[in-house]
């Protein structure tokens, strides 16, 4: 049996749930899931202000080789987020504007790239959201096998195909597909609670009073002078 596969069909997180997770944002979703799922802060948004959420299409590539990204395009459905990693560290420019154009034509709403990209200005002009490890003019080949839509590990987090990916300026969070609805409920409740706190803080109430932190400060030996 081949060690390299392209899985065309797999269950995805519901797109309506994903859209609502996008509204909540990465930080709120992370907190709502018990502070789980956050990628280590090694990938950065190519453009500021982008916010996306959708089912993961996962791609495992040989470093310096983008063959499997091309192979992944036909598995993309509208609303998907393409999550790409390499079998060993790479900063080569594995995705540019042509490949991004192809992904977008098939419905991809963004890319999480645990390697490098190029054509940075063009990608920004396209308004195609990308989170990446590096920007590099270094080109790639199309020669080595890999896999599409298998479990991958990116920045310390396991991503399964169909899991919910939430990404914005704060970072990237993965939510397992079978937990997404519950996390959305908790995130929505958290947002409502924060709105009330925001009003109180805007009115001048101190955080040490609102959160009842004065006894803790005293217990820790903090003195006011």
SS (H, E, C) 9-22: CCCCCCHHHHHHHH
Q: What ranges in the chain are assigned the alpha helix state H?
A: 15-24, 26-32, 67-72, 97-105, 120-126, 180-202, 207-210, 214-219
**Distance between CA atoms of residues 183 and 204, nearest Å:** 31
pLDDT at 4: 95
**Token pair belonging to 42:** 């090694």
Kindly give the interhelix angle for 15-24 and 180-202, rounded to the nearest 10 degrees: 20
Residues 112-140 have a mean pLDDT of 97
Please state, rounded to an integer, the average pLDDT across all residues of the chain: 97
pLDDT tens digits, one per residue of 78-89:
999 999 999 999
Residue ranges covered by each domain of the chain: 15-184
Which pLDDT tens digit goes with each residue over 134-161?
Answer: 999 999 999 999 999 999 999 999 999 9
Please report, to the nearest 10 degrees, the dihedral formed by the alpha carbons of residues 131, 136, 137, 140 taken in order: -80
Evaluate if pTM is beyond 0.75: yes
Phi, psi of 150 (to 5 degrees): -125, 165
Q: 15-184: what CATH class?
A: alpha beta
Assign 210 to helix, strand or coil: helix
Q: Residues 94, 116: contact at Cβ < 8 Å?
A: yes
> What average pLDDT does this structure show over 35-44?
97
Q: What angle do CA 168, 174, 179 make, to 5 degrees?
A: 125
pLDDT digits (tens, 9 = 90+) for 180-208: 999 999 999 999 999 999 999 999 999 99
> What is residue 1's predicted lDDT score, i.e. its pLDDT?
47
pLDDT at 71 over 90: yes
Contact 163, 33 (CB under 8 A): no
Residue 112: closest CA among 7, 39, 36: 39
């Amino acid at each position: 049996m081949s060690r390299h596969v392209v899985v065309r069909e797999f269950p995805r997180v519901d797109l309506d749930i994903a859209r609502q997770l996008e509204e909540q944002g990465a930080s709120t979703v992370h907190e709502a899931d018990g502070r789980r799922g956050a990628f280590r802060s090694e990938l950065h948004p190519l453009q500021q202000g982008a916010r996306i959420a959708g089912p993961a299409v996962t791609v495992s590539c040989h470093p310096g080789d983008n063959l499997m990204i091309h192979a992944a395009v036909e598995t993309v459905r509208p609303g998907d987020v393409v999550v790409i990693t390499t079998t060993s560290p790479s900063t080569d420019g594995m995705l540019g504007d042509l490949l991004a154009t192809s992904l977008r034509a098939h419905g991809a709403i963004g890319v999480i790239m645990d390697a490098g990209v190029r054509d940075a200005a063009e990608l920004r002009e396209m308004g195609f959201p990308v989170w990446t490890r590096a920007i590099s003019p270094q080109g790639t080949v199309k020669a080595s096998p890999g896999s599409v839509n298998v479990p991958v590990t990116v920045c310390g987090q396991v991503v399964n195909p169909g899991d919910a990916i939430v990404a914005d300026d704060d970072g990237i969070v993965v939510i397992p597909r079978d937990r997404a609805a519950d996390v959305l409920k908790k995130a929505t409740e958290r947002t409502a609670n924060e709105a009330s706190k925001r009003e109180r803080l805007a009115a001048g109430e101190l955080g040490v009073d609102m959160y009842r932190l004065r006894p803790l400060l005293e217990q820790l030996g903090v003195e006011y002078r």
